[in-house]
A = this chain, B = another copy of it.
Amino acid sequence: MKSRVARGKTWWATLTTVSEAAREPDEDRPSGHPGACPNFHAAVELIGRKWNGVILQQLLTGPLRFLELRERVPRVTDAMLSQRLKELEAAALVERVVTTTSRPVEVRYKLTPIGDRLAPVLDAVAAWGNEWAAEVSP
């Protein structure tokens, strides 16, 4: 296998760029009404993808190594975490930084600037999540 970012063939892996998502057909709505914004659509499904929200939330606290991340994300497996990190890297939200080339290597995952700007978004989700929880289980 050649490239990183290969196996994670997912809904959006079929799009190479966000701009493609932006061109997301959306056809079949002949005239008028607004319909959903493709950017929103892509964004919400990316961060809501299983594990991604939690991974991102943890990285918001600072760069983490693979194992650190794994122990902070409850039931995730190596394979899942690895795949999700590749997807997030491809989406330009996360950067993979090799700290040491001497073996064993040290790798850190850190948010990119745009990834970092997710902070208020995830905070808003977390805040709502608590209200929701309080609502549903009084």
Please give the residue numbers on chain A whose beta carbons come within 8 Å of chain B beta carbons, in ascending order: 11, 17-19, 21-22, 24-26, 28-29, 33-37, 39-50, 52-54, 57-58, 61, 71-75, 91-93, 114, 117-118, 120-122, 124-126, 128-133, 135-137
With A37-B57, A40-B57 known, 16 other A-B pairs at CB within 8 A are A11-B50, A17-B137, A18-B133, A18-B137, A28-B74, A35-B74, A36-B72, A36-B74, A39-B126, A39-B129, A39-B133, A40-B53, A44-B122, A45-B53, A48-B48, A92-B135
Shortest distance between the CB of A128 and any CB in chain B (Å): 5
A137, B48: Cβ atoms under 8 Å?
A: no
Check A22–B133 contact: CB distance below 8 A.
Answer: yes
Copies of this protein in the assembly total 2
Report the Cα distance A39→B134, complex, angstroms.
Answer: 10
**Residue pair A121, B117 in contact (C-beta under 8 Å):** no
Which applies to chain A's interface (DSSP): helix, strand, loop or mixed? helix
Residue of B nearest to A49 (CB): B48
A67 smallest CB distance to B (angstroms): 13
Q: Could you give 26 example pairs across A and B, Cβ below 8 Å?
A: A17-B136, A18-B132, A25-B74, A26-B74, A28-B74, A28-B75, A33-B71, A34-B72, A35-B72, A36-B57, A36-B58, A36-B74, A37-B126, A40-B57, A40-B122, A43-B125, A44-B129, A45-B48, A45-B49, A46-B48, A47-B48, A47-B125, A48-B53, A114-B135, A118-B128, A121-B125
